[in-house]
Amino acid sequence: MKTRGFTLIELSIVLMISGLLLASFLEYYTVYLQKQKFDTTKERMREIRTALTIYAATEHRLPCPEGRETAKSRPSKRPSSLKSMREKEADKLAEDVCRLDAPVPPGVKVYNGDKQGSGPGKQVWIGAIPLRALRLGEDQGMDGWGNPFTYAVSRKLTLPDGMHSNPSPPGVISVVDEFGKSLLDKVDTGRWVLVSHGPSANGAITPSGGRRPCGEKTLDAENCNADGLFVIAPYARKSGTWFFDDLVIFDDLDAGGSILDRLIVCSGKRKFYSPGEAAADDEGCLGPTNAWEGMCLQSEILDEKFEVHKKPASFALPPAIGAGADCACATGYKLVLGGKWDDGSAKLYINTNSSITFTDPAGNIIPVGDPLPGGALPIGEEASPTPIKYYNQQTSLFTCVQ
């Protein structure tokens, strides 16, 4: 009995179909990888936003940008143990890259708004994210395509106590849409801007502290020409005037800030975040000044038996303490409840094998865990179309008073 092989026509058809399937898969995989890079970029930008907010709340100013080679170029120093108190104080002052007489860090560009002088009043400093100051890892300073974020800041707000006033002082940065219309409540008052230069990396900072070419006469180029004006426009990869593939955020809370950012801003003013109150200020903060300090967030789960399952504190701003434990205050302060809100409810179905979790205002994933480990029911029970367990979560805001 003879076996029949493939003819050339049949083999050609098989190869053609395989090629089409492979092309479709590669196209899907390319889209998938790009989505991952966008998601990574957005997540890291949110992390940087929160780090900047915490820095401003604790240091009463914004950090200065740095050039990519700043940390590597610092000379070695004599061990601290061999130095006098005066030498240590001098070192501390010298290391303050944001002091009034500090030189511009290598690789940082400076824009003088009025072109009439070199004072900090209208200056914008543009460079890389200061990772060490914000206590961020090296990866967090890079977008999903492996390029450093660009960080622009109003120079006057980086000086000692530059952000220490109520309401928070305005900056001098311009943020506009694709038609040049300001996206700020008041024109030219942006405090800081964070830019990912997207897949094209046009204008991104290089490892040596230089810049990749910006491209000419495109919306995208406006975010790398160091003129103190930044654009947020629709994503458009087609070449020409409207080309734009950057991701941009700025300090306007309504432009993507989390509830944690808002709480920290009000905490810096020693006020509560209560935007619905008529007496609240422009940033949603309410209450007398100097009433309390710091804050601590702690959540609890209420199960269907009305049993409370308290979770460790997810965030603490000094003098509040307790991250990873119960909220508390440093010595000399008393812990008080500043407010409480519902985070919502979760439902558990039979045999879903899915974990029940909540996301608290600090962005932490909190598993229920206590009533049913892992959130899953014992194997063997039939699946149910209706939920059999309900959980509710509440988050409390604690503050410290003297």
Number of domains in the chain: 3
What number of other Cβ atoms are within 10 A of residue 321's Cβ?
21
**Pair 249, 265 in one domain:** no
CA pseudo-torsion sign 391, 313, 329, 294:
negative
**Pair 246, 363 in one domain:** no
The amino acid at residue 99 is R
User: Is 63 a residue whose pLDDT tops 60?
Assistant: yes
Residue that terminates a domain, selected from 239, 256, 273: 256
Distance CA 364, CA 358 (A): 8
Quick one: pLDDT band at residue 164, thresholds 50, 70, 90?
confident
For residue 310, report the phi and psi dihedrals to the nearest 5 degrees. Answer: -80, 140
**Pair 238, 274 in one domain:** no
Angle at 129 between CA 183 and CA 293, to 5 degrees: 80
User: Is 161 a residue whose pLDDT tops 80?
Assistant: yes
**Pair 129, 274 in one domain:** no
Residue 125 in domain: yes
User: Is 174 a residue whose pLDDT tops 70?
Assistant: yes
Residue 373 in domain: yes
Residue 26 in domain: no
Compare 402 and 345 and report the one with higher pLDDT.
402
**Pair 335, 324 in one domain:** yes
**Pair 183, 42 in one domain:** yes
Q: Give the pTM.
A: 0.67
The amino acid at residue 65 is P
Residue that terminates a domain, selected from 206, 238, 256: 256
**Pair 215, 264 in one domain:** no
**Pair 305, 325 in one domain:** yes
Among residues 45, 51, 63, the alpha carbon closest in space to that of 256 is found at 45
Query: For position 10, what pLDDT does the model report?
Result: 66
**Pair 101, 203 in one domain:** yes
Residue 18 in domain: no
For residue 142, what are the contacts with CB-CB under 8 A and spacing of at least 6?
44, 148, 149
Specify burial of residue 275 (Cβ count, 10 A radius: 0-12, 13-18, 19+).
middle
The answer to whether residues 324 and 368 touch, using CB atoms and an 8 Å cutoff, is: no
Residue 28 in domain: no
DSSP letter (8 states) at residue 137: -
Quick one: pLDDT band at residue 247, thresholds 50, 70, 90?
very high
Query: For position 115, what pLDDT does the model report?
Result: 54
User: Is 248 a residue whose pLDDT tops 90?
Assistant: yes
Query: For position 121, what pLDDT does the model report?
Result: 83
Report in angstroms the alpha-carbon separations of 317 from 54, 59, 99, 218, 298: 8, 12, 25, 43, 12
Query: For position 359, what pLDDT does the model report?
Result: 58
Residue-wise burial string across 174-192, b where 16 or more C-beta atoms lie within 10 A, e elsewhere: bbbeeeeeebbeeebbbbb
For residue 266, what are the contacts with CB-CB under 8 A and spacing of at least 6?
272, 273, 283, 284, 285, 286
User: Is 261 a residue whose pLDDT tops 50?
Assistant: yes
Residue 60 in domain: yes
Stretch 264-276: mean pLDDT: 75
Residue 10 in domain: no
**Pair 240, 298 in one domain:** no
Distance CA 296, CA 287 (A): 18
Report in angstroms the alpha-carbon separations of 37 from 100, 196, 211, 243, 296: 38, 11, 21, 19, 33
Residue 20 in domain: no
- The domain of 279 spans 258-285
**Pair 156, 264 in one domain:** no
**Pair 237, 317 in one domain:** no
User: Is 199 a residue whose pLDDT tops 60?
Assistant: yes
